[in-house]
Amino acid sequence: MEYLLDTNICIHYFKGRFGIKERIEKIGFENFAVSEITLAELIYGAEKSQQTE
């Protein structure tokens, strides 16, 4: 089974919130996908971010 991740879940993964990282790693990265829209939103948000990390 493959899961499609939305922008919010990806952000929670990167920030280590709600145990998302552990759940994704338990299921396996090969079972997840990200849409082009989500990817574009993540890139846009990263470019607009004031954080340097």
Q: Give the pLDDT confidence of 14-36 residue by residue, as tens digits.
A: 999 999 999 999 999 999 999 99
CA dist., res. 45 & res. 40, Å (int): 8
Number of domains composing the chain: 1
Q: What is the DSSP letter of 16?
A: T
The residue among 37, 35, 46, 36 whose CA lies nearest residue 11 is: 46
CA dist., res. 34 & res. 20, Å (int): 15
pLDDT at residue 49, rounded to an integer: 86
pLDDT at residue 12, rounded to an integer: 96
Q: What's this model's pTM, rounded to 2 decimal places? A: 0.79
Residue given tokens 């997840």 in the structure block: 32
Outline where 1-53 has alpha helix (H).
7-15, 20-27, 36-48
Residue 53 lies in a domain: no
Helix (H, G, I), strand (E, B) or coil at 31: helix
- Note down the domain range covering 15: 3-48
